[in-house]
Amino acid sequence: MTPPPRPDGNSTTRSAIRQQDLVAELGRRAFETDDLDELIHDAITAVSDVLEAEFTAVLESTTGDDRFVIRHGDGIDGSLGTMTTSHCCDTAHGTALGSAEPVVVDDLEADDRFEHPAFLPDRGLGSAICVSIGSTEGPWGVLATYTTATDAFDDPDGTFVQSVANVLGSAVDRERANRHRDAEATLKDKIVETSPIGITIVGTDGEMRFANDRAEEIFGRSKERINDLRFDDPEWDEIGTDGRSLSREELPFPRILESGEPLFDQVSGVLRPDGKRVWISVNGAPLYDDDGGDEPTGVVFAIEDVTDQFERDRELERYETVVETAHEGIYVLDEERRFELVNDSFADLTGFSRSELRGRHASTVFGEEFASIEAEQWSDGCEDDPPTFEETIIAGPDENRTVENRFVLLEEEGGEKRVGVVRDVTDRSRMEEALREKERRFRTLSAHLEEVIWLTDADPSEYIYVNPAYEDVFGDDRENLYDDGFSWLELVHSADRGRVRDAYTALPEIPFDEEFRVVRPDGDRRWIHAQAIPVTDDEGAVQHIVGIDADVTERKERERKLEKYRTIIEAIDDGVYTVDDENRYTIVNQAFVDLTGYDREELLGAHESLVVDDEVVDRTRAVADESTASKLTTTIETADGEAVPTETAVTSHVSDAGTQRRIGVVRDISERLAYQRRLEESEQRYRTLVENFPNGAITMFDEDLRYTFADGQILDEIDLPVDELEGRTIYDIYSDELVTELEPAFRAVFDGESTETDVSYLDRFWSVHIVPVRDDDGDVFAGMLVAVDVTERNEYKRKLEESNERLEQFAYAASHDLQEPLRMVSSYLQLLESRYGDDLDEDATEFIEFAVDGAERMTEMIDGLLEYSRVDTRGSSFEPVDLDDLLDDVLDDLQLRIEESDAEITRESLPTVRGDASQLRRVLQNLVGNAIDYSGDESPRIDVGVERRGRRCVLSVRDEGIGIEPDDQDRIFEIFERLHSCEEHEGTGMGLALSRRIVERHGGRIWVDSERGEGATFSLTLSLA
């Protein structure tokens, strides 16, 4: 098959970058997942995609068998995981198993070294890459990829496949290590019980809780006896290496329990029951519960019988004294290459104690390769020039050191010994290694934190490291930070961005500590608390900047809710407080402060008894313990000593920490109690009024038009008892004709409408008012009917109307009969003036003018008297009248007088009333006209206002004129009464009398409030529409 064209330079670079990114991603996946099969599958897919290979497989080498198991594959038919193939070296994958380098084949069909793979289809194969997975000493398997094209792969492709195989190898090693760790955990309990080291556990009370078999042997006591003894029982007779009895504080158990830290290699002597003293080396550590509690639950000890070693140590003390003054580490190995002698410098260098080293094999310090290194170095040296070389020694379980070692071999009777001198030369390397270890731990830790951890160099825009939490919190790829260290600022809310940018760019001179909002690419908003500080070297130069960004969205939301509730509590009118389990105030709102009269500072921390007595405190505690909120009525004493009646709702709340708080809401009910008293008094008054309601009855009814209440003296007179009304509907009581007449009015009540009507019932005439009854919220819940017997009044009214009609006829006739001769007198006087005016002197002319004027005024008085008599009989029926429109018409009629007098008229918005528009217009015209006429020397200042009083209103016309004496204020409303002569003010004296008659026809009254020289206010009452 023709090989594919070679990519150009740019394509090669892009391909290499892609391969590197895939290897990095697989490497990251290898550290994050425990699923090896998934990782292998992803690796095969990646190799096939990148190299465009038709077949890719991972072959696992089986132990003790020269065959591969095909673990996973791409493009391969068959049962993956069970299908096998041979290890033979005549295949490319078989050869790769033992090779440290990738096996790259350009043309399998033409290459005589390799046969066609048995697990692939029997068709021509071209190129192949096969790479060993794992170390060449113990390879785990092979990663193999094939394509039908020849010359399809180059060296970078082989390196890529090798890198993928290395990632798989590390994952395989980790899986093996995990299996090994699990096996170790399974053996743990057996090791403890069968350990050659004694193991005991002591509880925090000092009592023994466990001892293994070896502990029995060391202490010469049974487990039962050991468990009976406390750690400080005198029977142990525990002494130190100097022979002095150990005090309680020097014993291992209290030292560990009080410090919370492990203790290592404390040597002491304890007495066995047989009187023999055994020397033991004790290692101990505190025990904690699995739940991670801070307090230890006991102490575990590992106890080793070091009696023999202790005796040897004493024998060698004189030798050690000789070498202790040396600064370099000195050691002596016996013929078995066990430490026979070490000085303090050597012990300090290794990190082990001398007692721990003595008797141990040299490999404990110098490692497993000790023997071969010794032989190699000795063979290279000579007796005159002992070998000197650098090697790594084991300084402890987690520490190595590099030392310069120089030794000689000594022949003694017991065998060949080695005497060596070592000097530590690795301070710098150890510091570098420590730094590398810290960085590794830092990265491991930060990778698992929810907070964003980041590191830059001295320039805050040059990021060195950002942990994965950045992508969870900011919602952005952290790779963007490596390209542009300020890219995260674009995610900061626009309202916060300028402030945050200024603070961040001030690094490292000024530490960074800001709270701000970010808008993630998905639109989600988060609150961030970001902090950063510079890291300096010994000279104070900034090396790095380290920062942490915490998502505080939930905290901000809690703060917002807390502030909202705090605002609500402070805004409500009721007093709110909380007290702790000692009955002391912990929270009070302003309303509670105002109610009690104390300052907030005086209340906080004070006992409840400051404002209520102990009996009330006990009652509130008892009520608060109930499952639901309850109310009780109490009296509090204010700071001024005033007793205020209150209603308190109390409940209790237990916080997450288990702290109980009692919550109270207090309301001052002084006004409510006073209102209730007034209501009861009012109810009694109204009941008395209803029961004694003269000449009528009052009833209430529900939506079924059923009477629920009835009373009134008239009911006894018409022989209609209350018990025959209450509980019955109008259909049960009234005739069909009366029901038909009244039912619409009864129904209209529940739509909020009122009705006034006259009906006939039981041979009497009734004036009926049907009105809605509303609750405190203004909703109609019942209807009320007020019926007044107007039989006698109607008869009187009928007679009065007949009398008025006769009076009107008389007034009309009288005015007609009077006006005729007045017209004749006036006409002849005017005729006399026109014919003989030139012959009359001035007095005669004046006399004629007086006579004509008197006749005209008499005519006006007769007209006024006629209009006065017709108010009741010739008026129109009442209907809604808009007083605003009516006043507009009046002002239009008076426009000329207003302009001539330069009058200023102000007005309020006037309501709509029920009445005769023509008559009410006449009243307003009289009042406004009088206000203009009687203004005095100043321009008139007139105000038209209104005051609503329930279903009525008071209309007022106020001026700043000459005013009226109090003694004249009733007289001005009489017929033909005038306070001024005709020369001073024109008029007949009928205007105010006519106005009063019109107002009385409308069921109202009219009056004046005035003082001489202080202006006057004329007021009248009207019914609202």
CA 77 to chain centre: 58
Identify whether 3 is part of a domain: no
Identify whether 189 is part of a domain: no
| Beta carbons of 978 and 968 less than 8 angstroms apart | no
Q: Is the pLDDT of residue 1021 over 90?
A: yes
Per-residue pLDDT band at 988 (split at 50, 70, 90): low
**Packing angle, helices 842-869 and 991-1001, rounded to 10:** 0
Looking at residue 1008, which CATH number applies to its domain?
3.30.565.10
| Beta carbons of 316 and 303 less than 8 angstroms apart | no
464/190: higher pLDDT? 464
Q: Is the pLDDT of residue 915 over 80?
A: yes
Looking at residue 274, which CATH number applies to its domain?
3.30.450.20
Q: Fill in the DSSP letter of residue 250.
A: G
Closest CA to 230 of 203, 262, 250, 267: 203
Task: Indicate the range of 3-17, 469-483, 709-723 predicted with least confidence.
Answer: 3-17
Is 444 in the same domain as 421? Answer: no
Its pTM surpasses 0.85: no
Is 344 in the same domain as 468? Answer: no
**Sign of CA pseudo-dihedral 714, 720, 721, 722:** negative
Q: Is the pLDDT of residue 953 over 90?
A: yes
Where is the domain boundary, 530, 556, 582?
A: 556
Is 314 in the same domain as 408? Answer: yes
Q: Give the integer Cα–Cα distance in Å for 947 and 928.
A: 18
Identify whether 186 is part of a domain: no
Percent share of the chain, pLDDT over 70: 83
Task: Indicate the range of 476-490, 783-797, 945-959 predicted with least confidence.
Answer: 783-797
pLDDT at residue 10, as a whole number = 62
Only one residue has tokens 């990095």, namely: 24
Q: Is the pLDDT of residue 535 over 80?
A: yes
Identify whether 839 is part of a domain: yes
Q: Widest CA span of the chain, in angstroms?
A: 191
List, for residues 720-773, the tens digit of each pLDDT value: 888 888 899 999 988 999 999 999 999 999 999 999 999 988 888 888 999 998
Q: What is the mean pLDDT of the chain?
A: 82
Per-residue pLDDT band at 692 (split at 50, 70, 90): low
- Give me the mean pLDDT over the 944-959 stretch: 92
pLDDT at residue 891, as a whole number = 92
List, for residues 429-449, the tens digit of each pLDDT value: 666 566 666 667 666 666 667
Q: Is the pLDDT of residue 688 over 60?
A: no
- Give me the mean pLDDT over the 1013-1024 stretch: 90
Identify whether 430 is part of a domain: no
Identify whether 1007 is part of a domain: yes
Where is the domain boundary, 730, 762, 789?
A: 789
Per-residue pLDDT band at 609 (split at 50, 70, 90): confident
Per-residue pLDDT band at 884 (split at 50, 70, 90): very high
Length in residues, the chain: 1025
How many structural domains does the chain have?
8
List, for residues 558-592, the tens digit of each pLDDT value: 888 877 777 777 777 888 888 888 889 888 888 88
| Beta carbons of 145 and 93 less than 8 angstroms apart | no
Other Cβ atoms less than 10 A from the Cβ of 477: the count is 13
Q: Give the integer Cα–Cα distance in Å for 587 and 603.
A: 9
pLDDT at residue 489, as a whole number = 93
Q: Give the integer Cα–Cα distance in Å for 390 and 422.
A: 9
| Beta carbons of 430 and 401 less than 8 angstroms apart | yes
pLDDT at residue 504, as a whole number = 94
pLDDT at residue 815, as a whole number = 58
Other Cβ atoms less than 10 A from the Cβ of 464: the count is 13
Helix (H, G, I), strand (E, B) or coil at 1003: coil
| Beta carbons of 143 and 127 less than 8 angstroms apart | no
Is 819 in the same domain as 861? Answer: yes
Which stretches of 705-842 are assigned E, i.e. beta strand? 707-711, 755-761, 764-774, 780-789
Is 48 in the same domain as 174? Answer: yes
pLDDT at residue 659, as a whole number = 65
Looking at residue 37, which CATH number applies to its domain?
3.30.450.40
Q: Which of 504-508, 776-780, 933-937 has the highest mean pLDDT?
A: 504-508
Identify whether 704 is part of a domain: yes
Q: Give the integer Cα–Cα distance in Å for 402 and 398.
A: 14
pLDDT at residue 147, as a whole number = 92
Within the chain, how many helices (H) and strands (E) appear? 31, 38
**What is the extent of the structural domain holding 328?**
309-425
Q: Give the integer Cα–Cα distance in Å for 891 and 632.
A: 63
Is 247 in the same domain as 360? Answer: no
pLDDT at residue 265, as a whole number = 87
Identify whether 443 is part of a domain: yes
**Sign of CA pseudo-dihedral 696, 697, 698, 704:** negative
List, for residues 494-523, the tens digit of each pLDDT value: 999 999 999 999 999 999 999 999 999 999
Is 214 in the same domain as 141? Answer: no
Is 998 in the same domain as 928? Answer: yes
Closest CA to 780 of 703, 686, 676, 675: 703
Is 347 in the same domain as 231? Answer: no
Is 295 in the same domain as 353? Answer: no
Q: Is the pLDDT of residue 360 over 70?
A: yes
Per-residue tokens: 329? 């580490």
pLDDT at residue 992, as a whole number = 86
Where is the domain boundary, 367, 391, 425?
A: 425
Q: Is the pLDDT of residue 242 over 90?
A: no
Q: Give the integer Cα–Cα distance in Å for 574 and 631.
A: 14
Q: Give the integer Cα–Cα distance in Å for 480 and 941.
A: 81
Is 236 in the same domain as 331? Answer: no
List, for residues 857-878, the tens digit of each pLDDT value: 666 666 666 677 677 767 788 8
- Give me the mean pLDDT over the 3-23 stretch: 69
Is 162 in the same domain as 35? Answer: yes
* Dihedral angle over CA of 394, 396, 398, 400, nearest 10: -30
Per-residue tokens: 624? 């608060």
| Beta carbons of 70 and 119 less than 8 angstroms apart | yes
| Beta carbons of 141 and 71 less than 8 angstroms apart | yes
